[in-house]
Every structure is written in structure tokens, then in C-alpha cells.
């Protein structure tokens, strides 16, 4: 990226806020032309130390390649950097501007060197040159204030720009910065947006072509079907399988699952990919399921095991770290139902005490998925998933305690269905 190509990117650079995850908490800073009396907390602890600091932010117009590069960047850094370098997750964003988030890492180089202005160690100047934006940070002459310098490419090498902007303190935003990129990055709200991501995957890994061949050319009809469509959501071991099969038998209904069996051969492959690719795969799976739901519900009731609510709830909870208060505000657009996706007439989410859930998994001898392992070990993640379920609207979930015996649980859900469809 030559210096002349950096200028358009940096035209609003001084308006950006930067966040570094330090010791389990986010430290925010911004850029300015003047000095503050004290350096921001992130840098104040470094004053007087013989260290070099860098930010490495991923930017790419190709969302699939950019996402894969970001996923590979940490492994590259850990492999190539000296042991005395400290790495912390960071991001940069324009406040309140959707889609402006850039992710990367903040690097403290503690290796011995007489210069604080050398290029980042480990050969990073050669890593994905056009996708990696490198900045360095160093104190000024009085050793009290820090400046940020953007590195551009001069020929084949990166060089530090001469004039830097002062690093100044910044307040934490009202919403966690990760919320800025949820729409069409972690959660998809139209069939075409999700399909477009898989189309970008074709020139990256061949399995995407096989999936695209199975997809409809456009979103299936979302006209309300004649018969009831009941979705059952819930974490593993809450009794979804038993309940959905019992509902099928009790109502003479069809039973469908999302992702559908047609996409099952590629599920494990897409689970290995970064979130934007993985979520796009599950999103199109909902539309394929919806197409079959529409056909079946013209003749009979339909029970669906997992649908859009679980896809969205897990994606939101994974994208936004920390406590529940970091989630997008209740009523945010991220909780809205896709306008082109068939709406079920009732969505039941089964809830269960975590200890009881673990006991059931042990009794069944079932291995947990990666996200279920995260739920098991990270209570904050579990709380975020549960809260995201609660906030999704259009339709909202009806929470049902899954601890009673299976026959009692079935009767409870049948009463909910009867209340929703008294004439059916």
C-alpha cells in the first residue's frame, strides 16, 4: 500500500477510537493534535520503559479473505514474534458508524533494541500488505506523551510516517464497538446477503461451490402458511429432540431441522471457518429449511428443531464479549426478524439449569459442541446467549422450563400451541 493510497483511508483517521483488551478490560484512546496532562491508562504504565508498541489492524474489501486473514494473524504473530512480546486484542472504529470496525492486535515489543522506531518484528511487514494497517506508538521528547505513526509502503518496505498524532484518552462508547459490525457480518437479515458471502468463498475453498449448487436462486416465499409452524429452540440436553418428536407424533406434524440434511455434509467444514463465513452458512441453511417448511405447512403442521433464533443468539453472544450490558440495546435492529424469512407461528425456547444440563450430557455420553463447551466454562457467554434469545422479536421466544418429565413438558407446550391456534 503506497503512501498515496494510504491518504484516502486516513482521511477520517483522527476521528477513530481505538480499544485494547488489557487485563480483561477494554482501554479506549483516540487521536488529537494537542497534548493531555497525562497519557491514557494503556500508555501511562509504559512511560519510561524501553518498549516499542504497534497496532496491527486488518482491513480488506473482500470480507471472506479479510476474515480468514484476521483468523490466521494471531497464529502468525505468536509463531514469529520474539517471546518477550506481549499481544492483546484491539479494534478501531468510528463511533456510532455501522460497519466501521477494524479488528487486530496491540503489540508491545519488549525485546532489547536501541531504537523505538524500527519496523514491527517477525517479518510482519510482508504479511498481507494491503490487508494489514500498521501503526507505531512512541513517547515524545519529554517522555510524558505518546504519538501514533501510520506506516506506509515505500517500494517494498514499510516506513514510518514522520508526523504523528497525539494519543489522548477517550470514554467508553455507549455500546460495545463489536455491535457496529454485527449486521451482515455476524447475523444476516436477507437471503441474498448471506448467499453473497458464500459466493465470495468460491475462490477461497471449493466446498462453497457445492453448497451454492443446492441453494435456491432467491429467498423462498415468506407468506404465512395455512398450518401452524412451531419452532423449538434450546441448548443441548434441554430435551429438544424428545419434545420435537413427541410434538410430531401428537400433532401428526412434519419434523424438520436447521441446518437441513442436504447441507449436513459441509457443516463440519464451515464450522472451521471464521464467524462471517460460518454464520452465512447457517443463515442460508435457515432459508433452505424455510423453503421445505412452506411446502409441508400447506398440508400439515410443521415442527422445526432450531431456526433463526439460535443462529442469531449464538452469533450475537459470540461477537460481543463480556457482560450482558455489552449487548446491543433492547429494541436494536440486530434483534429483528429477517424480512424475507418465513415467520413461525410460535417459538419455544427450552431453558435448563446449567448443572442439570451437564448431568444430562454426562448420562448420554454425548460430546459437547465447541459453543456448548464455551457455555459450560463461561457463565458470561451463557448469560449473553440467554439474553439474546429473550430480546429477539418478530416473533419473540416463549421460555419454557425443561426440567419437568418429558410427558409434562409435552403437555405444557401443547397448551401453548392451543392458546396460539384455538381454532386449529
Which residues fall within 8 angstroms of residue 263, CB to CB, at 6 or more apart? Answer: 211, 214, 281, 284, 285, 288
Task: State the Cα–Cα distance between residues 72 and 382, nearest whole angstrom.
Answer: 27
Closest by alpha carbon to 97, among 214, 15, 187?
Answer: 15
pLDDT score recorded for residue 79: 85
Per-residue pLDDT, averaged over 343-369, amounts to 72
Maximum average pLDDT range among 49-58, 141-150, 276-285, 368-377: 276-285
What number is the average pLDDT over the span 58-70? 89
pLDDT(368) > 90: no
Q: Which of 412, 408, 411 is nearest to 399 (CA)?
A: 412
70-84, 90-104, 209-223, 241-255, range with the lowest pLDDT = 70-84
Residue 314 DSSP class? H
Is residue 192 over pLDDT 70?
A: yes
- HSE of 308 in the Cβ direction (CA atoms, 13 Å)? 31
State which of 146-155, 160-169, 202-211 shows the largest mean pLDDT.
Answer: 202-211
Q: Are 187 and 316 in contact (CB under 8 A)?
A: yes
Cα separation values, 196 from 64, 201, 415, Å? 10, 9, 41
Q: Which residues are paired to 348 by β-bridges?
A: 232, 398
End-to-end CA distance of the chain: 64
CA distance 146 to 35: 9
CATH topology (fold) of 182-420: Rossmann fold (3.40.50)
- CB atoms closer than 10 angstroms to residue 204: 15
Residue 19 has φ and ψ, to the nearest 5°, of -130, 130
**Mean pLDDT along residues 339-367:** 77
Q: What is the mean pLDDT of residues 414-419?
A: 95
Q: Reply yes or no on whether the pLDDT at 408 is more than 90.
A: yes
CA distance 213 to 202: 11
Per the CB < 8 A criterion, the answer to whether 160 and 136 are in contact is yes
pLDDT reading at 180 higher than 70: yes
In whole angstroms, give the CA distance from residue 201 to residue 64: 6
Number of other CB atoms surrounding residue 256 within 10 Å? 23
Specify the domain boundaries for CATH 3.40.50.300 within the chain. Answer: 182-420
| Per-residue pLDDT at 401 exceeds 70 | yes
- Give the whole-angstrom CA distance, residue 347 versus residue 334: 18
Nearest of 41, 9, 10 to residue 25 by alpha carbon: 41
Q: Please, are residues 124 and 134 in contact by the beta-carbon 8 Å criterion? A: yes
Q: Name, of 147-151, 203-207, 301-305, the range with top average pLDDT.
A: 301-305
In this prediction, residue 125 carries a pLDDT of 45
The yes-or-no verdict on residue 124 having pLDDT over 60 is no
Residues 17-33: pLDDT tens digits?
999 988 778 899 999 87
Band (138; pLDDT cuts 50, 70, 90): confident
Rounded distance between C-alpha atoms, residue 10 and residue 12, angstroms = 5
Query: What is the number of residues in the chain?
Result: 424
> Tens digit of pLDDT for each residue in 264-301?
999 999 999 999 999 999 999 999 999 999 999 999 99
Residues sharing a CB contact under 8 Å with residue 295, sequence separation 6 or more, in sequence order: none
Partners of 226 in the β-ladder: none
What is the percentage of the chain residues whose pLDDT exceeds 90? 54
Higher pLDDT, 138 or 412: 412
Nearest to 375 by CA among 400, 358, 350: 358
Amino acid at each position: 500500500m503506497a503512501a498515496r493510497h494510504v491518504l484516502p483511508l486516513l482521511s477520517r483517521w483522527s476521528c477513530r477510537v481505538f480499544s485494547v483488551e488489557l487485563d480483561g478490560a477494554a482501554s479506549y484512546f483516540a487521536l488529537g493534535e494537542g497534548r493531555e496532562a497525562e497519557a491514557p491508562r494503556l500508555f501511562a504504565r509504559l512511560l519510561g520503559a524501553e518498549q516499542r508498541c504497534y497496532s496491527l489492524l486488518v482491513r480488506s474489501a473482500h470480507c471472506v479473505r479479510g476474515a480468514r486473514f484476521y483468523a490466521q494473524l494471531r497464529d502468525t504473530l505468536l509463531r514469529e514474534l520474539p517471546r518477550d512480546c506481549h499481544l492483546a486484542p484491539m479494534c478501531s472504529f468510528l463511533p456510532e458508524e455501522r460497519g466501521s470496525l477494524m479488528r487486530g492486535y496491540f503489540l508491545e515489543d519488549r525485546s532489547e533494541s536501541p531504537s523505538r522506531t524500527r519496523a514491527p518484528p517477525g517479518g510482519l511487514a510482508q504479511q498481507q500488505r494491503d490487508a494489514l494497517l500498521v501503526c507505531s506508538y512512541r513517547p515524545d521528547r519529554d517522555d510524558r506523551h505518546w504519538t501514533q505513526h501510520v506506516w506506509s509502503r515505500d517500494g517494498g518496505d514499510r516506513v514510518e510516517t514522520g508526523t504523528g498524532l497525539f494519543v489522548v484518552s477517550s470514554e467508553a462508547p455507549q455500546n460495545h464497538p463489536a455491535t457496529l459490525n454485527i449486521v451482515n457480518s455476524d447475523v444476516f437479515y436477507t437471503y441474498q446477503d448471506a448467499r453473497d458471502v458464500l459466493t465470495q468463498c468460491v475462490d477461497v475453498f471449493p466446498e462453497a461451490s457445492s453448497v451454492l449448487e443446492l441453494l435456491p436462486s432467491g429467498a423462498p416465499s415468506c407468506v404465512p402458511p395455512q398450518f401452524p409452524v412451531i419452532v423449538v429452540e434450546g441448548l443441548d440436553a434441554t430435551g429438544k429432540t424428545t419434545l420435537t418428536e413427541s410434538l410430531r407424533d401428537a400433532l401428526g406434524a412434519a419434523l424438520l431441522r436447521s441446518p437441513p440434511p442436504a447441507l449436513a455434509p459441509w457443516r463440519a467444514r464451515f464450522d472451521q471457518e471464521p464467524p462471517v463465513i460460518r454464520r452465512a452458512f447457517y443463515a442460508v441453511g435457515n432459508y433452505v429449511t424455510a423453503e421445505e417448511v412452506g411446502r409441508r405447512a400447506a398440508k400439515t403442521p410443521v415442527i422445526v428443531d432450531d431456526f433463526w433464533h439460535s443462529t442469531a443468539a449464538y452469533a450475537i453472544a459470540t461477537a460481543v464479549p463480556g457482560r450482558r450490558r455489552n449487548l446491543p440495546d433492547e429494541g436494536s435492529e440486530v434483534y429483528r426478524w429477517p424480512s424475507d424469512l418465513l415467520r413461525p407461528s410460535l417459538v419455544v425456547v427450552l431453558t435448563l439449569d446449567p448443572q442439570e444440563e451437564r448431568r444430562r450430557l454426562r448420562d448420554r455420553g454425548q460430546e459437547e459442541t465447541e459453543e456448548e463447551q464455551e457455555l459450560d466454562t463461561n457463565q458470561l457467554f451463557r448469560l449473553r446467549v440467554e439474553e439474546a434469545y429473550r430480546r429477539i422479536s418478530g416473533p419473540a421466544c416463549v421460555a419454557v422450563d425443561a426440567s419437568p418429565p418429558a410427558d409434562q413438558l409435552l403437555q405444557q407446550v401443547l397448551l401453548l400451541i392451543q392458546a396460539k391456534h384455538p381454532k386449529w
